[in-house]
Chains A and B, each alone.
Chain A
Amino acid sequence: MSSIPLQSRLPKTYRIKDVKQETEMVRTFTFDGSLGARPGQFLMLWLPGIDEKPFSVAFDDGAETKVTFFAVGPMSEALAQCSVGDLVGLRGPFGTSYEWKPGQHIALVAGGYGAAPMYFVAAETVHHGCTLEVFVGARSKEHLLYLEELESLPHVSLHVSTNDGSMGFKGFNVQQLEKMLEVCQKGGKGKKVKADIDPIDQVFACGPEMMLKAVSELTAKYKIPSQLSLERYMKCGYGLCGNCVVDPLGIRLCTEGPVVKNDACIKIEEFGKYHRDALGKKHEF
Chain B
Amino acid sequence: MDARSTTLLIVGGGPGGYVAAIRAAQLGIATTLVEGDKLGGTCLNIGCIPSKALIHAAEQFEQACHYAQDTSRAEALRSPLGIQVESPRIDLAQTVRWKDGIVARLSGGVAALLKKNGVQVVKGWARVVDGKTVEVTGTGQDTLRIACEHLLLAPGSQAAALPALPFGGNVISSTEALAPPSLPKRLVVVGAGYIGLELGTAYRKLGAEVSVVEALERVLPAYDEELAKPVAASLRRLGVELHLGCTVLGLSAGGDAVRIRNAQGEESALPADRVLVAVGRRPRTEGWGLEGLMLDMNGRAVRIDDQCRTSMRNVWAIGDLTGEPMLAHRAMAQGEMVAELIAGGRRHFTPAAIPAVCFTDPEVVVVGRTPGEAAQAGLDCINAVFPFAANGRALTLEAGEGFVRVVARRDNHLILGWQAVGRGVSELSTAFGQSIEMGARLEDIAGTIHAHPTLGEAVQEAALRALGHALHV
Same complex: no
A residues near B (Cβ < 8 Å) are none
